[in-house]
Amino acid sequence: MQQQELVQAQQVSLDLIDYFHTLCEKLNLKYYIIAGTMLGAVRHRGYIPWDVDLDVGMFRPDYEKLKEYFLNNDDETVFYSHYLNNKQHNSPHAILYLKNTIFIDTRIKSTKNQSWRGLILDIFPLDNPPDDDKKKLQQAKKLNKYKKILYYKNFYTSEKNSKLKIVFKKIIHMLLKVYRYRKLLSRLDKLEQKYNSNNSSKVVSMSSGYKYQKQLFDIQVFGNPKLYQFGSKKYYGVHEYDQYLTQLYGDYMTPAPHVDLFDEYKYFIFKDNRERK
């Protein structure tokens, strides 16, 4: 995928978050744009130029309500993917795909021949951690273990990998075929929800790729969702954005040192097959 196609994908993805925003308002569900999407809203008033992913977080009760809605309602615009309704789902969190688009990372061999994988909106549950620091560490270690299993089961490869490393990954991938995604993700889901009855003042996006401690926030940091400009429209984000972004990225207003940040997307295939009205 070339840079021009990336820009096109970004524009098409706006239809996805706009749909999601409208649905959440209709169902009276709270959400927050988070991670790189929150950073893009504050620093660029839209996408980070070299990014196309959309990330939102929802406190667990609203996350579950949204899940129940999609499991019981068909939709012509999006495909809601979760381990309960898609046996090929390979992510610890739910994903909303824009139908009739294709957006595939060719490095992940498990996505081969899965044409339902269109442009995505990642939906991360926000869960409570234990109060005890030792239990937090134990939970983080167990989460990492399951995520590492997922990483090798998905058979993620890169041209940067040596032939020996690719062979090693392939062997591990073959050994992990005995693990079904649904069983693995169900265990991970239960682990994330283990301490939700504690009424903790903290919250963690445990399905995220960021480290556990990086994602550990006071609930008040999220607070009441606040509208932020993102492209031509506004979407809800973290209330205390400065505290949130500083903890995740440090000096978040300064872009990363110059590298070919678009290079990542050369492995992706993008197509927009939607009917034009």
Q: Specify the pLDDT at position 103.
A: 85
Q: How far apart are CA 137 and CA 142, in angstroms?
A: 9
What integer is the mean pLDDT of 90-112?
81
- pLDDT range class, residue 155, cuts 50, 70, 90: low
pLDDT at 176: 59
Signed CA dihedral, 273, 182, 62, 129: sign only: negative
pLDDT over 90, % of the chain: 60
Would you say residue 26 has pLDDT above 90?
Answer: yes
CA distance 78 to 118: 9
pLDDT digits 0-9 by tens, 161-198: 666 766 656 666 565 566 777 888 999 999 999 999 87
Return the C-alpha torsion angle 206, 208, 214, 215, nearest 10: -50
Convert the pLDDT of each residue in 79-96 to its tens digit. 999 999 998 888 899 999
Judge residue 24's burial from the number of C-beta atoms within 10 Å of its C-beta, 0-12 exposed, 13-18 middle, 19 or more buried. buried
Residue 117's pLDDT is: 74
d(CA 104, CA 108): 8
Per residue in 199-208, pLDDT (tens digit) is 889 999 999 9
DSSP secondary structure of 150-196? HHHHTTB--TTS-HHHHHHHHHHHHHGGGS-HHHHHHHHHHHHHTTG
Q: Domain boundaries in the chain?
A: 3-127+201-272
Which tokens sit at 47? 């996408």
The per-residue pLDDT of the chain, averaged, comes to: 87
User: Which CATH number, 2.30.30, 3.30.70, 3.30.460, 3.30.450, labels domain 3-127+201-272?
Assistant: 3.30.460
- In whole angstroms, what is the distance from residue 23 CA to residue 21 CA? 5
Strand partners, 217: 203
Average pLDDT (215-236) is 96
d(CA 109, CA 113): 9
Q: Would you state the pLDDT for residue 146?
A: 86
Cα dihedral sign, 178-181-182-186: positive
Take residue 27 and report the two structure tokens written for it: 């169902």
| Radius of gyration in angstroms for the set of CA atoms belonging to the chain, rounded to a whole number | 19
- pTM to 2 decimal places: 0.89
Predicted local distance difference test score (pLDDT) of residue 158: 58
Longest dimension (CA), the chain: 56
What pLDDT sits at residue 37?
97
Place of tokens 């990542």: 264
109 has pLDDT over 60? no
